[in-house]
Structure 1
Amino acid sequence: MRIGIIGSGVAGSLLAEGLLGAPGQEVTVFERVAEGEHAEAGTGLNLGPNALKALRLHNPARHAALRAVSLPWNRWTVELADGTPLLDLDMLEVAEEPGVRIRWSELYRVLRAPVAGATRHGHALEALEEDTAGRLVPVFRRPDGSLAREGGFDLLVGGDGRYSRLRALAAGEPVPEQLGLCIYRLLVSEADDCPFDDYGQWFEGANRLLAFRVPGNAVYVAGTFRIFGDTSIPDYARRPVYQRALFTPSSGQPSPAVTWMLERIERHFDDIHWARTQQAPILRHAAGGRALFLGDAAQAMVPTLGQGATQAIEDGVLTAAILRAGGDAEAVARLRDPRVAFVRDLSRAASDTILGTDPVAGTRKKGEPPFLDALRRLYTEVPERV
């Protein structure tokens, strides 16, 4: 079976590693960017305990490698912008092991290293064709502008993210649902004086700051605020004075943590990455099962519980196990789609406090048994066998 993986991101790299050396399977990964171009990509992220459980069960070498270059996610705290505490959750109350906090660049490095020999860089998917046997033939654009055809594949896997070119070509562009939220991200380096460490959230009304330390003496900061409807992010919102006003409590005295973040946001404002929060319909496969989608290519979701990359990890290792056992795209859908639907629904429900629910009442509900039971299910229900 000839398998082509479009994109060497989280799901694509883990799938390739899980299939390399499998009898009867030939695997090639096609990556759009040049080798090393992602070396300092992105900012930081947290991976949920379920990602680590999936790796521990199905790829213990990657589990150990990620632990070695990350910080543990042990606690989840929530406060108001003035420092009033609302939630302090020990992750081991709802999980079997901690999650992790890591830089995107380190995550890419650790996951891509085992599949470097099977990866062809500088291959941007341009079109799809079919050969005489009915197999999909990907057509790639190379950096010099020329086109490359790599022959027919029995299965093409889209691990090429939220704006998946493979999904667009095989099934049409998905129509995203805009949530009327802006989220911006910043990686602050040289953070010796940062007054916090582990995963925290701070609310002023529906406006939320989220932050945590990552390795390399850096801090990841994300801000979220309402923009309403399908509109773009207004220019007036992309100004330091506006952002300071969003997160300054009515008392006028932000907590030390919020004060520190606001000062760094102003100092590094030009380095902020801005985006609108959206989700897209789940689509697991197309083209009669010849195209399979994983991670954000299949299930782009709201980032509230940090399950985007986490579910990509589940996708990658579990899909590898299914394909090694002789399963197909339908088998992947049967295992993954109900799980992903639950995760998406829970992430959307957990977004209530950034969508207008009173942050005090909404956060306190997250410390009660129904939500904690849902978190426990999220963090522990990873199958050992497929």
Structure 2
Amino acid sequence: MRIGIIGTGVAGSLLAEGLHGFDVTAFERVAPGDQAESGTGLNIGPNALKALRLHLPARHAALRAASLPWQRWFIDLADGTRLFDLDLLQVAEEPGVRIRWSELYRLLRAPVAACTRHGHALEALEEDDAGRLVPVFRTKTGLVREGGFDLLVGADGRYSRLRALAAGEAEGTLLGVCIWRLLVADAADCPYDDYGQWFQGNARLLSFRVPGGAVYIAGTFPLPEDGQIPEAMKTAAAQRALFTPAAAAPCDAVAWMLARIEQHLAQIHWARSATVPVLRHALDGRALFLGDAAQAMVPTLGQGATQAVECGVVAARVLRAGGDAAAVAAARDARVEFVRDFSMAASDTLLPPVDVVAGTRSKMGSDFLARLRRLYTEVD
């Protein structure tokens, strides 16, 4: 079987590594090193680390070495009142990790560099006389055709070009929440370390340290009925007002983040949280989709990249055993449905009229923790 992989992000790189020895070619839109300094930071859940430990132990070790451990999750109000505090080892077999996106790309792409063709942006899709898929790429020298492939894998993210060509544009569903992201590169004076969240009403800050002395910050707030991000909210003054308690001073952590927001406002990336329907394969199983190309979900539980890790290693296991796209769907889709539903349920405190205090404290209850344990440990 000849396999082509579109995109060498998380799922695509891990799939290519897991299929070592197969006839695999991976195609990446950017040139080598183009994303070396780009992106922000992310946390990767214990379930992804378990998947790597079971199936790609060398990658597990490399990820651990390049990251900080994610051991604790706490949730406060903006004035510092503690609502939730969890040691992840209460619900997981090992900690998660905190890392920069650029470093994650580097360590995942390195093992598959020999089978990767850079500077290839998917433009169209054709078939050869045998019915195999022939991707058409735009390169710096013009259009080139590669193929034919018995299986073409879309691992090219939420706005997957392969998915659009094979099955039409995916229609997303907006959560009604703005999410912005910022990486503060020089953060030696940051007053916190591990994964924390701070609520002021239904608006939330999320932040943690990543390697290299940097801190990742993300903010969310409910959007108006039209679903658009008001330009007036993209100011330091608006964000300060949004996250400052009405009757108290912000705690040290929130005060530090508000100052960094003001200093680095131009570097903030603004987006709207959205999901797309799950689609695992198309074109009679000749096109397979992994990671966000298949299952983009709300980021509340940090499962976007984490599920892409699971996708890459599980799909490789299934294909090595002689399975096809339908077999990958059988191995992944029930798990993904649980994760998507749980992530959506955990997003309740991001939108009014949910009471943040009661809603957050309920997450220390046995039901939420049981689902969290299932999320973090039920990995094949």
Per-residue displacement from partner, 1:220-279 (whole Å, max 9, x unpaired)? 000000113453211101111000000000114000000000000000000001110000
Task: Mark the runs of 5 or more structure 1 residues left unpaired by the alignment.
Answer: none
Once the two structures are superposed, the pairs formed by residues 224-373 of structure 1 within 5 Å of their partners are 224-356=220-352, 357-373=354-370
Q: Secondary structure at the match of 1:141?
A: strand
Match of 2:108 in 1: 111
| Superposed CA offset, 1:180-214 (max 9, x none) | 11000000121111110000000000000000000
Secondary structure of the residue aligned to 1:127 is strand
**Between 226-235 and 173-182, the greater mean CA deviation after superposition:** 226-235
Runs of 4+ deviating beyond 4 Å? none
Q: 1:78-105 CA distances to partner (integer Å, 9 max, x unpaired)?
A: 0000000001100000000000000001
TM-score by length of 1: 0.97
Aligned residues between the structures: 379
Write the letter of the residue equivalent to 2:60: H
**1:15-50: CA deviations, max 9, x gaps?**
0000021xxx31000001111111112100000000
1:131-163 Cα shifts (integer Å, max 9, x gaps)? 00001100000024x100012100000000000
Aligned to 2:13: 13
Which amino acid counterpart does residue 6 of structure 1 have in structure 2? I
Match of 1:174 among 166, 170, 174: 170
Give the structure 2 partner of residue 77 of structure 1: 74
Whether 1:57 and 2:35 are equivalent positions in the alignment is no
Aligned counterpart in structure 2 of residue 27 of structure 1, from 24, 27, 47: 24
* 2:163 partner amino acid: R
How far apart, in 1, do the equivalents of 2:228 and 2:268 lie? 16
Determine the C-alpha separation between the residues in 2 that align with 1:173 and 1:41. Answer: 27
Give the partner amino acid of 1:40.
E
Aligned residue for 2:318, secondary structure, equals helix
- In structure 2, C-alpha distance between the alignment counterparts of 1:45 and 1:231, rounded to whole Å: 25
Cα distance in 2 between the residues matched to 1:321 and 1:3: 14
Q: Is 1:202 the equivalent of 2:198?
A: yes
Distance 1:55 1:109 in 2: 16
1:183 — aligned with what?
179
Specify the code of the residue in structure 2 equivalent to 1:5.
I
Q: Unaligned stretches of 5+ in structure 2?
A: none
2:134 to 121, 133, 137: 137
2:95 corresponds to 1:98: yes
- Where 2:157 maps in the other structure, the secondary structure is coil
User: CA-atom RMSD, angstroms?
Assistant: 0.7
Percentage identity across paired residues of the two chains: 72
Partners of 1:178 and 1:229 within 8 A in 2: no
Cα deviation digits, residues 300-350 of structure 1 (max 9, x gap): 000000000000000000100000000000000011000000000000000
Structure 1, 63-72 or 243-252: larger mean CA deviation: 243-252
TM superposition shift of 1:129:
0.4
Alignment-derived partner of residue 148 in structure 1: 144
